[in-house]
Amino acid sequence: MSSDTPRVLSIQSHVVHGYVGNKSAVFPLQVLGFEVDFINTVQFSTHTAYKHIKGQSLKNEELDDLIDGLTMNEVDYYTHFLTGYSRSPDSLKKIVEILKKLREKNPNLNYVCDPVMGDNGKMYVPEDILPVYRDIVVPLADVITPNQFEAELITGMKMNSLQDALKIIEALHEKGPKTVVLSSTELGDEYCMIGIASTAGVQYQINIPKVDATFTGTGDLFASLFLAWWHKTNNNLKLTLENTISTLQIIVKDTYQKARDVQPTGKIPPQLRELRIIQNKNIIENPKITINAIELSPK
Ligand SMILES: Nc1ncnc2c1ncn2[C@@H]1O[C@H](COP(=O)(O)OP(=O)(O)O)[C@@H](O)[C@H]1O
Ligand SMILES: Cc1ncc(COP(=O)(O)O)c(CN)c1O
C-alpha cells in the first residue's frame, strides 16, 4: 500500500494533560499533512516535571499485539518511523524489531530517532538504556536528534567548543546515521543556544535566542517538525533547520509571554509552561523564517 501522503508511525509517550511525546509531535505532523499512526509507550497524567505522576506503561506483549494487528490487516506500510521517550532497554529492543519489520515492507523507510535520555547533565530515564541506544538503535537510524548531553553520552566525548561538537557529530555519523542534528547545545551564552545539523559533509549552525525558562516537550516537537520539513523540503538541511527553529521560537516565546501575563515574576510552574501548540497552528503550517542557519566552513 502506497500513496502520495507520507505516513508516520510514532512510538512515544502520551500524557493526559499537557504536551510531551505524542501529544507534542502528532498534531504538528497532522497539520503539516502527514498521516500519523501513534502508539503510546506510557500513559501518564502529566509529564515528569510535575510533582505527582500517575499512570501506566505499555508492556512489550501489548506493543507486540498492536503491531501484530497492523501487520495482519496489512496497514503497516509507513514512509517514516519516529521514536522518542522510552523507559526500558527491553522496549527499545522491541522498537528495533518493529523497525526491521517496517523496513521489510518499505526499504526506503526514514527512521528519525530522538534518543531521549536526559538534559543539562542529568539522565531522566534508567541508565541501562544508554548502551542500547548507543550500540543498537542509533546505528539503525537515518536521522538522530540528540541534545548536547545525549550526544556526549552516546559518544563518551565532551563538548566544550564548536570543534568538539563537530568531532562528536563525526563520531555519531560513524555509528550509522547520515543526518545528525544537535537540537540544542550550551556552546552559546546566556542569551543564545546553538543548534548544529550535519548531513553529507555539510554542516549548519543556528543561533537560537534563549527564553528564560525550561520547557518540556520541546525536544519532541523539534523531532517531529524536523521530520516533517526534511520531507517537505526534499532533504534541504538549511531550510529544514530554519523552519523547525523558527516555529519552535514562536511557540516557546508565546508560551513564556502568556505564562508571564499570569505570573509576572518567579519560577513558572509546569502547568503554565505547557507548550502553546494548538494556539500556534497557523505558524506551524506557514512558518516565517526569522532565524537563519549559517553554513560552517569545510575543514
Ligand atoms: N529555553 C528555551 N529558549 C528558546 N528555545 C528553546 C528553549 N528550550 C527549548 N527550546 C527550543 O526547543 C528545541 C529543543 O531543545 P531542547 O528542549 O533542549 O531539546 P531536548 O528536549 O531534546 O533537550 C531547541 O532547538 C529550541 O529551539
Ligand atoms: C513522559 C515524558 N515524555 C517525554 C519527555 C521528553 O520531553 P522533552 O521533549 O522536553 O525532551 C518527558 C520529559 N521528562 C516526559 O516526562
Number of domains in the chain: 1
Q: In whole angstroms, what is the distance from residue 86 CA to residue 150 CA?
A: 14
Q: Answer yes or no: are the C-beta atoms of 103 and 132 closer than 8 Å.
A: no
* Phi-psi category of residue 177: left, alpha or beta, with phi > 0 → left and psi -120 to 50 → alpha: beta
* CATH code, domain carrying 189: 3.40.1190.20
| Alpha carbon nearest to ligand 2 atom 14, residue | 48
Q: Residue 250: give the domain boundaries.
A: 7-295
Query: What is the chain's percent helix, strand, coil content, to nearest 5?
Result: 45, 20, 35
60 Cα to the center of ligand 1, angstroms: 30
Tell me what ipTM this predicted complex has. 0.95
Tell whether 2 is covered by a domain: no
Q: pLDDT-derived band of residue 3, with 50, 70 and 90 as boundaries?
A: low
Mean pLDDT on 229-238: 98
> Does any ligand 1 atom lie closer than 6 A to the CB of residue 215?
yes
Tell whether 177 is covered by a domain: yes
Index of the ligand 2 atom closest to the CA of residue 147: 11
| Alpha carbon nearest to ligand 2 atom 2, residue | 47
299 Cα to the center of ligand 1, angstroms: 28
Q: In whole angstroms, what is the distance from residue 270 CA to residue 214 CA?
A: 9
Q: pLDDT-derived band of residue 4, with 50, 70 and 90 as boundaries?
A: confident
Q: In whole angstroms, what is the distance from residue 133 CA to residue 22 CA?
A: 20
Q: Answer yes or no: are the C-beta atoms of 194 and 208 closer than 8 Å.
A: yes
Tell whether 78 is covered by a domain: yes
Q: pLDDT-derived band of residue 124, with 50, 70 and 90 as boundaries?
A: confident
Distance of CA 103 to the CA centre of its chain: 21
State the amino acid at position 191 in one-letter form.
Y
The catalytic site residues sit at 220
Helix (H) or strand (E) holding 7: strand 7-15
| Alpha carbon nearest to ligand 1 atom 14, residue | 219
Q: In whole angstroms, what is the distance from residue 12 CA to residue 165 CA?
A: 27
66 Cα to the center of ligand 1, angstroms: 32
Mean pLDDT on 36-40: 98
Q: In whole angstroms, what is the distance from residue 41 CA to residue 38 CA?
A: 10
| Alpha carbon nearest to ligand 1 atom 4, residue | 210
Global confidence as pTM: 0.97
> Does any ligand 2 atom lie closer than 6 A to the CB of residue 146?
no
74 Cα to the center of ligand 2, angstroms: 32
Tell whether 1 is covered by a domain: no
